[in-house]
Structure 1
């Protein structure tokens, strides 16, 4: 893991990428000023539209410049956490005439429940809770050249209510893509919404938040099927939907359309049986122009595998079943084949109640068969082999599969074939029997579909070819004939690092791709690729007068010599030459932006910038709340890792510094970034992931920037603890005493335990360390906090082993110096609870209810009279059962506690 992380730090992130492309092709960094972009598309004039995960769509002109204002910003409505956010965006086929565009995003439940009410706060959001995916249409204003959204044009097409959206019940495998068919219908893809920790057939065992989803109405009890929701036609998970862009209804030409319920999942579903169809593409020049024909075009679908096989699927018609979770690739998916399948309540067993048959419904495996070379078998009723099943489905096999590079060696890529018994099997693409030409074996990590090349900038041999993508960093060129038969797969780009989306600009005929790091790359052919400018110096800061020896020798050009180096030092002076020296003078702290522009022999140019800080030094940063290599527990629910650092800056106070905490969940050979956290003292949410077949760990990065632009970044990692239990203890106890708070705890098991760290928080989220108690082997421990805050104190103990594994005690709430003049009752509460203050200290009372991870899930405020008693009955709405923390603010007084909901 350490080696992979080091390799990550050494990646080339700017300028011209390593030239792992055919001759005369080149890859340049086109755009960098983006915040976690998820994808891009182009209008017919070549203007680029990039959607960012937080809920913002940016527009880029044809010269590569960002317009200062976004097309739209719906970040208040978007739930942006883990793999959720604004995931899909598409322009209408007639966008330049009608201005319509469409968004697919995870819905923030705070916005859903409280927008336009006094309880709404634009800064509040709900995360780590089940929610839904929503599809909305907007219209761009033609009077602004389609650069601003038209006020009042919002129209929800799918997900108007919590019961009608795409269920999102896990941190991954949620929303996919959004494209428009040839016939003007909208096509939407969604993952199965479950964990990959094991064979999820329902419930919460593997981390899927099914119980909460049922309690809030996101799914019904019959939909609690785990990955089998991909097979269930009353649910959107694991499906591709097709809807009318005007109404959001399903189309009468859809395969499972119900005239009595046009907005039902059955009416909207186009294809099913997917694990995670993260990217989809409609093949150009296929399909009808008329929705009633039921032919939006041929869909090419990148279905991300579970660890064995990555798939490219082709849907030439509606109603096709691609087999997940019974199938992965061309073979049975044994974790699910070996487990009983749940009942499909759309298919009552006609033999139930007769002849001793006690199976009320047919299950999903009963209803699925694979095709064979000579057709397929007709499945029999499990209660009587002589009775055929009606309404079964025949699976559709992948067009191409390739092995997961980590979990399914050796390297293989396969097309469909049949064994001697007529059953489907995979045939290596380099086998003579495959009939593919000049195709070598390959593997990858995540199939991401791709794009058909319809431009004219590339050589003729690429016209009409399918450029397919894998997150491992390759782009390959696949040759499909008009009947969607594959003839070859050839390498094209082997170093498209962390690629997540590929698009074609119809105006300039070039391919563009986005990397997970947030940069847009352009792939061009011929002409003169620009050089790459690189500024280097031993030091960019120091006391004045400051002499900086600028070095431009790292600049390069892929095909021509660099003939001129121009320097603008940012203080009104300039110079020329590869290596130059410049002295900055002045008093006080000043920052200058030095710019290097390099030119090749044909006049192509590029620039690089560096900040020079006079009389300034960068911050010194050390993360102190955990050690690099610590190991988090898997036997506790999601925990909060304290994020605290020692930061020293010789020239600036701490409040003048900007902190940026970034948390990355690493999963095998890719990672999932969390949004930036700008708090100085914060926390990271650590899920109990790891110690299974797949690798998980967390990378925490802190960057501290001073007002002069100097910054320092440090990174530490935590890994799952996979060993035997090392600590067993009773609950932490304590009470207020004279001058402080007494804490006690005792242990029954200590194995290699080094120490206990005592932590305190005012709100159960932002803990600080009070001190350490050395471990002594089983026994009783005490700690006296001689400086508790007046009011609520929440304590917890962190037990740490010699090798960095840790485990937390229960949180303990103690009021100091005496019980608070506030009461929340009954506790546990059922249908409602009451907030009571003996005496209000100010004219407004505010209540916030937070879940165990610190996310505000309920907010209310009331006007009252200072000095008067206060009482209010509160309804918890759709909140699921469980433990919550409450925070009551009344003037300068803040009170904290825990509330249990049991309904």
Structure 2
């Protein structure tokens, strides 16, 4: 260990901000000198910048600087510190004291986060700040301060005006004590509004909910009120008590959705607005893989977190906006600063005009992109010490904060600096940070460092005074010079450095080395122990002892503790410095970072009476485990912590950390079947669940059912009388009949209503289908297609097994459409007939629109019409007049998330009352209908009789239409299968605009309970391994009915039988494809018959045929071994015959030259010995009750005698 002790002369650093309350230094006189220890972090090294640029240190010894903003005058800069202090730099000199302190909670990554000046700052003196307020309890806040116009560098007392309070952390729906992912940057946009960048607060499950402010950019007026032109603003919204106003607003108040400008962000810590173009970039710190620069210039953009991160295929996520730039963590991570270099800035060369600079906290790189072509990033500076918050001053200089240590308030006390990068072609060197006096113990190394600026390249030469003059130290030609293993002979040595470039020379101040025989303290961390590991929720105790040769035992008064949370390549503060104690403890949270690549670092610093300090640390790593998430059909998609993954997924996590699992309500199998969520295998019925990472490997299986047979469109089914008779050309599928050629139809429409599915025919036509009694209802809309105008006259008949089920009567091109809804229970042949109504077949283009078959119905159908309260309710329908969700008193509960009575319409234009009425979605609103969980055939109609409208409409995540524009009096109808998994059918319009989707009516028909997909995994005990233990689970459940998967029902048919063993075998073969040895496993079967039935194909098992007094045979099958291990041993079989029960034990392996010997039975019978080659099919005579022996051996292992 190198211990370095510094003494700084008063003239060594001119711009130094020290906070006495936070920095305590002990001094001891040595001779006539006043000496003090300084840490290694105090010696700052400049970043490497391009030729022609220089970097200088403007302020140093700063603790947790986090943001800054420059005045337009160019003379002053305001600096935010995380603990709430506000500092001022004037003419590149930091004032020695804070000018204002906010009432701030600065723990973790909370605290003073953002600062910006009013566009009219020079006249009104307004400074806007964003910080974590401590009272009444911790929450984030936007406030305004006013600069004292007299001093121009202080804040008027009592001038803080609170503009916006975000929800108390304790009121958040989950993770009610977040300490990370605050975001916090604030900017004025060109229109004079304020953009507030808010992180997800470790609550990523509600980021995609626009009724939450988390993971958003909020846009407000300068007084903190939401802009009325925000994309989701709707002053008419009135949320009910207990509705989406979880932030505590009273019903009818402005909601968070009214503030939202952009969404889908994780930790938008920094960004900038281009002063010339107005482009607004938001930097989002990524999770495990990607960093993003997003453009939020346009209203309403959703950047996808947590559904996706990094660049994506727009076809996959059409409602999300791709980043301007996304880059992998293999390249860089933790984007913490951004600045456009635009406007009247003439300092940097022309190539830099208009670029966007951004900083990387972990790598120390500052890069830039050209916003016009952002695909390529260029490195500008390297070696910056944890850079963040870039700021361009009025003179074109680029300032940035160098944090000097990890994130947050705890690390790096006094390590922060503010740097300035300038461009000038010919600048002589100058010393920006002088070498300082050092106090070093005998035997330790002394390291002197200088920081210099000027046109590169710079060269260095250290010199030492020999009593007469300064002479060069050989080989000391770097910015740092180390004098190793100092002795008392080095006491009083004086050193300096000469810095030169092609323009000139600079000579540093003289630094003096003082050597002392005093030694630094020796601390020891007693607890936690070196190999201590933690699980979430554990209490970690820490304690230490320290001794010093000169002082003896040092107590807690000499100690300072600090705890940091490390994640991957960066860290977060966890526990702020704790001084004056020798022991303490902290609790590991159960909610937070879900990565397994994390740990806590406990750091202890001990200072002796001479001011000598020793710092040591101990890392505490987590206990981790794997858990698997998969679907019963073996593939598909699963969301973990809100992010989609392909199933099956194996995830490693910290034990007891909470994770969120979501199984989509519906998804397609690889073969195209519609899979609907039923439950989780362990009984959880909600598709979204929260788990604690288990202590041992475990599988979470989402059970899906095949709903493909619940709904069938006739246009997707083969006809049984191919080709069916048709009056003009062939029948058409999903279009009108058209003309004589095949495929010449157009999208079918009846009286302005368009349909995506159906049969287009021409009288006279006769279309037949073989149903085989598999369906319960036939439903369709009928009419003459609009392509004929008012022409044509037809009649529609429906027959079931030759019996007339429906007759429409004559219909013409001017007739309203009719609907057929008939039972087809038991029907084998369904026949659809269209006749010409007796007046010839001219223009008789007929549509069986949306013709569909419904499987066995399990409940009552529900029809709801969207209308005004005064409008006539169509026969058979329930009325929805735009009221908030409630029990309607008509046997159903339904309604809107916010009142829509203001946008319900009855147009009095269309003769069909169902189409004449409508409602219009407010931004972010939903409509819900209470239903039992299950699969439903949902029919929707959209359109407006009087106005052009654009529609996006989803039901339980199933897209009916996406951005479909319809003219006035034009409509669309569609039927889709929808799975309800949370007790409510939910309609939404995604990110659709105000008064976007306009539904006319909804029809909901329950379908048959679908048959569950056979589980593709034989993991019956759900430990994430398919092994012998699962075989035993199956064996114990063999023969059970109404059984669960945990009993061995692998195919989910309710019975535990041989088919389930096949499921296990297939999964086992995938898990252990090349097993060659085994561990002992006990197998129990109730009878020899069951044994024969269940073990017929099992490897290395015994096969029994017969029972009781008849002969049966015992066989060892020469197939690959079931149970794998590295132990090479002969196969071991044991059979017992006790009270008519046959029990077996099988252990291990099949390999060459195993000898099998059946020496005797306890009733005296003898069985001849034979090799494995000729004894696999050994006939065994009549056995009495009792036991028999089997011996197996080979050349490589001793024989095994088994009873």
Q: TM-score range by the shorter chain?
A: 0.5 to 0.7
3-state SS of 2:287 partner: coil
**1:238/1:610 CA distance change after superposition, 3 Å:** farther
Structure-2 residue corresponding to 1:105: 131
Q: Structure 1 residue 606: deviation in Å?
A: 4.9
Alignment of 1:176 onto 2:184: yes
Which one of 698, 701, 706 corresponds to residue 600 of structure 2? 698
Structure-1 residue corresponding to 2:329: 404
Which one of 209, 214, 222 corresponds to residue 245 of structure 1? 222
Structure-2 residue corresponding to 1:663: 563
Structure-2 residue corresponding to 1:626: 528
Residues 314-329 of structure 1: pairs in structure 2 closer than 5 A: 314-329=295-310
**1:512/1:692 CA distance change after superposition, 3 Å:** closer
Structure-1 residue corresponding to 2:148: 141
3-state SS of 2:204 partner: helix
Structure-1 residue corresponding to 2:371: 480
**1:565/1:139 CA distance change after superposition, 3 Å:** farther
Once the two structures are superposed, what CA deviation does each residue of 1:514-563 show, in whole Å capped at 9, x if it has no partner? 33522323323332343577759996257xxxx99988698888634558
Structure-2 residue corresponding to 1:685: 586
C-alpha separation between the residues in 2 aligned to 1:154 and 1:166? 26
Which one of 51, 57, 62 corresponds to residue 91 of structure 2? 62
**1:263/1:575 CA distance change after superposition, 3 Å:** farther
Would the aligned equivalents of 1:166 and 1:190 in 2 still touch at CA under 8 Å? no
Which one of 180, 192, 197 corresponds to residue 200 of structure 2? 192
Structure-2 residue corresponding to 1:813: none
Which one of 204, 212, 217 corresponds to residue 235 of structure 1? 212
**1:703/1:240 CA distance change after superposition, 3 Å:** same
Which one of 241, 250, 257 corresponds to residue 233 of structure 2? 257
Query: Normalising by the residue count of structure 2, what TM-score does the alignment of the two structures yield?
Result: 0.40
Once the two structures are superposed, what CA deviation does each residue of 1:332-362 show, in whole Å capped at 9, x if it has no partner? 8xxxxxxxxxxxxxxxxxxxxxxxxxxxxxx
**1:281/1:160 CA distance change after superposition, 3 Å:** closer
**1:549/1:598 CA distance change after superposition, 3 Å:** farther
Would the aligned equivalents of 1:532 and 1:598 in 2 still touch at CA under 8 Å? no
Q: Structure 1 residue 669: deviation in Å?
A: 0.4
**1:231/1:653 CA distance change after superposition, 3 Å:** same
Structure 2 spans left out of the alignment, 5+ residues:
1-38, 237-251, 406-415, 475-490, 627-1203
**1:258/1:595 CA distance change after superposition, 3 Å:** farther
Moved more, 261-270 or 531-540: 531-540
Query: Normalising by the residue count of structure 1, what TM-score does the alignment of the two structures yield?
Result: 0.53
Q: Structure 1 residue 237: deviation in Å?
A: 0.3
Q: Structure 1 residue 449: deviation in Å?
A: 5.3
Would the aligned equivalents of 2:46 and 2:451 in 1 still touch at CA under 8 Å? no
C-alpha separation between the residues in 1 aligned to 2:587 and 2:556? 29
Would the aligned equivalents of 2:435 and 2:508 in 1 still touch at CA under 8 Å? no
C-alpha separation between the residues in 2 aligned to 1:710 and 1:675? 22
C-alpha separation between the residues in 1 aligned to 2:524 and 2:111? 31
Alignment of 1:304 onto 2:285: yes
Would the aligned equivalents of 1:53 and 1:87 in 2 still touch at CA under 8 Å? yes
Would the aligned equivalents of 1:613 and 1:708 in 2 still touch at CA under 8 Å? no
Once the two structures are superposed, what CA deviation does each residue of 1:117-138 show, in whole Å capped at 9, x if it has no partner? xxxxxxxxxxxxxx42111111
Q: Structure 1 residue 239: deviation in Å?
A: 0.3
Would the aligned equivalents of 2:337 and 2:388 in 1 still touch at CA under 8 Å? no
Once the two structures are superposed, what CA deviation does each residue of 1:778-815 show, in whole Å capped at 9, x if it has no partner? xxxxxxxxxxxxxxxxxxxxxxxxxxxxxxxxxxxxxx
Structure 1 spans left out of the alignment, 5+ residues:
1-9, 114-130, 195-225, 287-296, 333-369, 378-393, 406-442, 581-590, 725-903
Would the aligned equivalents of 1:40 and 1:48 in 2 still touch at CA under 8 Å? yes
C-alpha separation between the residues in 2 aligned to 1:578 and 1:536? 18
Which one of 259, 272, 282 corresponds to residue 263 of structure 2? 272
**1:232/1:102 CA distance change after superposition, 3 Å:** same
**1:395/1:662 CA distance change after superposition, 3 Å:** same
Would the aligned equivalents of 1:501 and 1:515 in 2 still touch at CA under 8 Å? no
**1:252/1:553 CA distance change after superposition, 3 Å:** closer
Moved more, 136-145 or 501-510: 501-510
**1:13/1:152 CA distance change after superposition, 3 Å:** closer
Once the two structures are superposed, what CA deviation does each residue of 1:614-671 show, in whole Å capped at 9, x if it has no partner? 674432222222334x33221x514232232323351488479643322221100001
Structure-2 residue corresponding to 1:745: none
**1:489/1:540 CA distance change after superposition, 3 Å:** closer
**1:165/1:467 CA distance change after superposition, 3 Å:** farther
Q: Structure 1 residue 249: deviation in Å?
A: 0.8
CA RMSD, 1 decimal:
4.1
3-state SS of 1:96 partner: helix
3-state SS of 1:143 partner: coil
Alignment of 1:492 onto 2:380: yes
Would the aligned equivalents of 2:548 and 2:608 in 1 still touch at CA under 8 Å? no
Q: Structure 1 residue 448: deviation in Å?
A: 3.5
**1:522/1:101 CA distance change after superposition, 3 Å:** same
C-alpha separation between the residues in 2 aligned to 1:656 and 1:510? 44
C-alpha separation between the residues in 2 aligned to 1:620 and 1:49? 41
Q: Structure 1 residue 154: deviation in Å?
A: 1.3
Residues 229-628 of structure 1: pairs in structure 2 closer than 5 A: 229-246=206-223, 248-259=224-235, 263-286=254-277, 297-331=278-312, 370=314, 394-405=319-330, 443-448=331-336, 450-454=338-342, 455-471=345-361, 472-481=363-372, 485-486=373-374, 488-507=376-395, 509-517=397-405, 518-526=416-424, 527-531=427-431, 540-541=440-441, 559-561=457-459, 600=500, 602=504, 604=506, 606=508, 612=514, 616-628=518-530
**1:563/1:446 CA distance change after superposition, 3 Å:** closer
Greater Rg over alpha carbons, structure: 2
3-state SS of 1:233 partner: coil
Structure-1 residue corresponding to 2:77: 48
Once the two structures are superposed, what CA deviation does each residue of 1:803-847 show, in whole Å capped at 9, x if it has no partner? xxxxxxxxxxxxxxxxxxxxxxxxxxxxxxxxxxxxxxxxxxxxx
Once the two structures are superposed, what CA deviation does each residue of 1:102-131 show, in whole Å capped at 9, x if it has no partner? 2212232xx426xxxxxxxxxxxxxxxxx4
Once the two structures are superposed, what CA deviation does each residue of 1:212-252 show, in whole Å capped at 9, x if it has no partner? xxxxxxxxxxxxxx524222122110100111222x11111
3-state SS of 2:579 partner: coil
3-state SS of 2:275 partner: coil
Once the two structures are superposed, what CA deviation does each residue of 1:138-166 show, in whole Å capped at 9, x if it has no partner? 11212222x22211211111117749999
C-alpha separation between the residues in 1 aligned to 2:447 and 2:533? 44
Structure-2 residue corresponding to 1:731: none
Structure-2 residue corresponding to 1:121: none
Structure-2 residue corresponding to 1:718: 620
Would the aligned equivalents of 1:159 and 1:165 in 2 still touch at CA under 8 Å? no
**1:403/1:505 CA distance change after superposition, 3 Å:** same
Would the aligned equivalents of 2:431 and 2:450 in 1 still touch at CA under 8 Å? no
C-alpha separation between the residues in 2 aligned to 1:691 and 1:313? 23
Q: Structure 1 residue 14: deviation in Å?
A: 4.0
3-state SS of 2:347 partner: coil
Which one of 145, 149, 159 corresponds to residue 153 of structure 1? 159
Would the aligned equivalents of 1:249 and 1:263 in 2 still touch at CA under 8 Å? no
Structure-2 residue corresponding to 1:429: none
C-alpha separation between the residues in 1 aligned to 2:463 and 2:123? 46
Q: Structure 1 residue 446: deviation in Å?
A: 2.4
